[in-house]
Amino acid sequence: MVRYKIFDNGLKLIVKKIDGLLSVTTGIMVGAGSVDENDENNGISHFIEHMTFKGTKTRTSFEISDSIDRVGAQINAFTTKELTCYYTKSTAEHFEKSVDILSDLFFNSIYLKEEMVREKGVILEEISMSNDTPDDLCMDYLAEAYFGNDGLGRTILGSSKNVRSFTKKDVLKYMNENYYPENVVISVAGNVDFETAEKFVEKYFSNNFVVKNVNKIEKMTDNIYTNHLFKKKNIEQLHIGLAFPSIKNDDPMTNALAISNIVLGGGMSSRLFQKIREELGLAYTVFSYLSAYKNSGIMTVYAGINPKNKQIAVDSIINLISTFKKEKLTQDEFLRGKEQMKSAFIMGQESTSSQMLLYGKYFLISNKIFDFENKIAEIGNVTLEEVNNAIDTNYEIEKMASACVGKNAAKLF
């Protein structure tokens, strides 16, 4: 059962009660990510996520961890292009304690200068680790090739230069612009009823916002740049990424296109896997996936290959997509794709973490309540004709962007 409430100040609460479980995941989702940043502060959303754990008015960094460990719970956070999420997973009996700690982090972090210096070192190492991870690096270059160097094209971690420059003043300014009630969703999934969640959210959150609602200017992120970028790196494999225009979040074509992507590159029976890996032996890892954002979307194909096989691999992938667009799905592929999509949603119902994220993110991005039963019915009602129509209007090779990382990397096109 799913229930929600919008408090008078605009704060949103959504609760998915899951009977039969003994745990609960609680997340605070803020509509602030790298898409909201500029050249000077790119990386600050992620920096704030880190700094929030480094001490509050009532707890040191160790005491935050100790408070969570004492009740056998877990606490973490992550930043994406469009949101930042702080969350805990605990037994249902320690739900209030988890909400209390999340509230303390959210409202009372003090951003001590010495802690900021230390955490900058941690993040600089994270940036170095990402730069040493060629598939991550390839995807960063691909986002820039497709979206440009603004909005969704920005990296989540930001540059080392930016991270070194951040001050407490920068942090508070950004939070004042983004951490306001209407831009926050508290999502709860697990064995907690709505009345209990509402009581504790009202106690620890709804009345504690100092920042009032602001007129946030929404950045449009639908520009497309068909660039082709590369990065030379002394590694054995060549990592390649191809990006194609796709649909935004909650588009009417979502289910049909998702089914088509499953068939194209979503699993071991997909055309990409079977052709590029199994038949041609050109890659160990090859797949495709869809990324739907608030105002835009992208379909990505990734493969890690031997540099000697670059041309045949790229040509094979492009030919496969051309054939896919021309011939569409068979009835058997269509039915298999539908079942894979349905099972993914059904299995996700068994995880409080995935449910917290699903319902919270959907509420935050679309301002709508995700309806699981309706979603399963919609997937079941998708027709082969609808999927083939979705393929017709997507996978536009002439609008493709690309990126590659490797020893002999060069423009793919």
CA 72 to chain centre: 27
The one-letter code for the residue type at 115 is E
List CB contacts of 189: < 8 A, sequence separation 6 or more: 15, 16, 18, 24, 25, 352, 353, 355, 356, 359
| Domains identified in the chain, total number | 2
Q: Does 112 share its domain with 245?
A: no
Indicate whether 196 and 298 sit together in one domain.
Answer: no
Any domain includes 304: yes
Q: 395: left (phi > 0), else alpha (psi -120 to 50), else beta?
A: left
Answer yes or no: do 305 and 387 share one domain.
Answer: yes
- Asked if residue 395 and residue 253 are part of one domain, the reply reads yes
Question: Do 283 and 180 belong to one domain?
Answer: no
Has 125 been annotated as catalytic? Answer: no
- Give the CATH number for residue 116: 3.30.830.10
- Which residue of the set 37, 40, 49, 378 is catalytic? 49
Residue 26 lies in a domain: yes
pLDDT by residue for the chain (413 residues), tens only, comes to: 899 999 999 999 999 999 989 999 999 999 999 999 999 999 999 999 999 999 999 999 999 999 999 999 999 999 999 999 999 999 999 999 999 999 999 999 999 999 999 999 999 999 999 999 999 999 999 999 999 988 999 999 999 999 999 999 999 999 999 999 999 999 999 999 999 999 999 999 998 998 777 776 666 655 678 899 999 999 999 999 999 999 999 899 999 999 999 999 999 999 999 999 999 999 999 999 999 999 899 999 999 999 999 999 999 999 999 999 999 999 999 999 999 999 999 998 889 999 999 999 999 999 999 999 999 999 999 999 999 999 999 999 999 999 999 998 999 99
CB 276 within 8 A of CB 317: yes
User: Residue 344: inside a domain, yes or no?
Assistant: yes
| Residue 298 within any structural domain of the chain | yes
**CA dihedral of residues 305, 311, 312, 314 (deg, nearest 10):** 70
Residue 188 falls within a domain, yes or no?
A: yes
Domain check: are 370 and 293 in the same one?
yes
Do residue 289 and residue 178 come from a single domain? no
pLDDT for res 211: 76
Residue 192 and residue 237 in one domain = no
Domain assignment of residue 369, given as a range = 228-406
Identify whether residues 262 and 140 lie together within a single domain. no
DSSP state of 236: S
**Residue 141 domain-assigned?**
yes
How far from the centroid of its chain's Cα atoms is residue 40's Cα? 23
Whether 271 and 186 share a structural domain: no
Do 124 and 182 lie in one domain? The reply is yes
